[in-house]
Amino acid sequence: MADAAPSTVRRISTVRSRFGLQPNVPLEEGHQDLEHQDLLWSRIRLAMREPFAEFFGTFIMVLFGDGSVAQVLLSAGQKTSPGQNGSGEYQSISWGWGLGVMLGIYVAGDSGGFLNPAITFCFCLYRKLPWRRFPIYFLAQFLGGFCAAGVIYANYVSAIDAYEGAGLRTVPPSPTATAGVFCTYPQAFLTKTNQFFSEFITATLLMFVIFALKDESNRGAMGKTGAGPFFPLALFFLIFGLGASFGWETGYAINLARDFGPRLMSYAVGYGHAVWSAGDYYFWIPMVASFLGCAFGGFLYDVFIYTGPESPINTPWLGLKRFLRPGTASSARVKESERSSA
């Protein structure tokens, strides 16, 4: 934006700073000098590029994930399908979610490709991602999941009518329930403790492995520093493995944006209050367990493996000193800033 008015550049930088984004827009070399960067929508895009990327990354993830569930469920028993018994099986869902996450990360690469409020939270907590960035990423991820569920419903509404009956919309444990296309529901035999632990352990594994893949000091099996360009592919295998190993009991939501957003959409399109009350009001479990599980997984990795300076675990008292003695922590931050600017 070499020819843009200084006031325009300042306004864009101010907006970006308010949301915790880097003041300087991350543009490819040569793109900043193109004439279209001074157009109104171009300025909006430059100001909000990373949140837009998180929205569409989550949107793509949920499209593939919910789409795979819809195809497997709604085609069950169809003799006209290629396999003469529906178009897919349980592992098709693991493939769908794994591919959705991988492709979503490619779409949202410039923003970090978090696609999950709990993962964003842990990068703020353990890797110094600016906390001011968390609310706008959270909103973008939630809306991405919400809108993707609407697209899935619009695409499969005729199939849902054929499966359940025209105008009927039910939730598990109904034998013809289709609400599970959009969000997760627990098996009927699970206690509340079982529900929570199933989601907690999958979220813990998710965050622990993500930190390992992102750790530049962890050479891994290939002698690389972290997963590098193979990170999206590694996430595909991680999500596929979580679904194959832990997906049956509660559906491995592990992500508020992929569960609460589509759940709200299912409520809006007619599934009713039961989307909240099913499973003894299970809906809050994926919301809370994803944050607590991811936070615990990040804590375990940083305590036992991570040696970098970003984590509060590698500070006095495992990071508690900054809360118990804020004055000392503030002085340390000032000294660190002075050293970096020197």
Listed range (17-21, 54-58, 77-81, 251-255) with the worst mean pLDDT: 77-81
DSSP conformation class of 217: T
Residues 109-137 pLDDT 10s: 889 999 999 999 999 999 999 999 999 99
Look at the block and give the residue holding tokens 């003041």: 23
Whether 148 and 62 have beta carbons less than 8 Å apart is answered as yes
**For residue 153, what pLDDT is reported?**
98
Burial 26-52 (b: 16+ CB within 10 A, else e): eeeeeebeeeebeeeeebeebbbbbbb
What percent of the chain is predicted at pLDDT more than 90? 70
Whether 210 and 300 have beta carbons less than 8 Å apart is answered as no
**For residue 220, what pLDDT is reported?**
74
Instruction: Report the 10 Å Cβ neighbour count for 233.
Output: 13
Whether 181 and 70 have beta carbons less than 8 Å apart is answered as yes
**For residue 318, what pLDDT is reported?**
81
Residues 268-313 pLDDT 10s: 999 999 999 999 999 999 999 999 999 999 999 999 999 999 999 9
**For residue 109, what pLDDT is reported?**
86
Average pLDDT of the residues in 175-189: 96
Burial 159-176 (b: 16+ CB within 10 A, else e): bbeebbeeeebbbbeeee
Average pLDDT of the residues in 193-213: 97
What percent of the chain is predicted at pLDDT more than 70? 85
Task: Give the pLDDT band (50/70/90) at residue 252.
Answer: very high
Residue 143: pLDDT over 70: yes
Identify the residue with better confidence: 316 or 25: 316
The Cα–Cα gap between 203 and 263 comes to 19
The Cα–Cα gap between 103 and 100 comes to 5
Listed range (44-48, 143-147, 191-195, 206-210) with the worst mean pLDDT: 44-48
In three state form, how does the secondary structure of the chain look? CCCCCHHHHHHHHHHHHHCCCCCCCCCCCCHHHCHHHHCHHHHHHHHCHHHHHHHHHHHHHHHHHHHHHHHHHHCCCCCCCCCCCCCCCHHHHHHHHHHHHHHHHHHCHHHCCCCCHHHHHHHHHHHCCCCCHHHHHHHHHHHHHHHHHHHHHHHHHHHHHHHHCCCCCCCCCCCCCCHHHCCCCCCCCCCHHHHHHHHHHHHHHHHHHHHHHHCCCCCCCCCCCCCHHHHHHHHHHHHHHHHHHHHHHHCCCCCHHHHHHHHHHHHHHHHCCHHHHHHHHCCHHHHHHHHHHHHHHHHHHHHHCCCCCCCHHHCHHHHCHHHHCHHHHHHHHHHHHHHHHC
**For residue 306, what pLDDT is reported?**
94
Mean pLDDT, all residues of the chain: 89
**What is the chain's alpha carbon radius of gyration, rounded to the nearest angstrom?**
22
Whether 143 and 261 have beta carbons less than 8 Å apart is answered as yes
Task: Give the pLDDT band (50/70/90) at residue 208.
Answer: very high
Whether 130 and 93 have beta carbons less than 8 Å apart is answered as no
DSSP conformation class of 109: G
CA distances from 54 to 2, 4, 139, 175, 253 (A): 27, 27, 9, 36, 18
The Cα–Cα gap between 257 and 47 comes to 23
**For residue 42, what pLDDT is reported?**
83
Identify the residue with better confidence: 31 or 303: 303
Whether 77 and 97 have beta carbons less than 8 Å apart is answered as no
For the record, the structure tokens of 3 come out as 């020819």
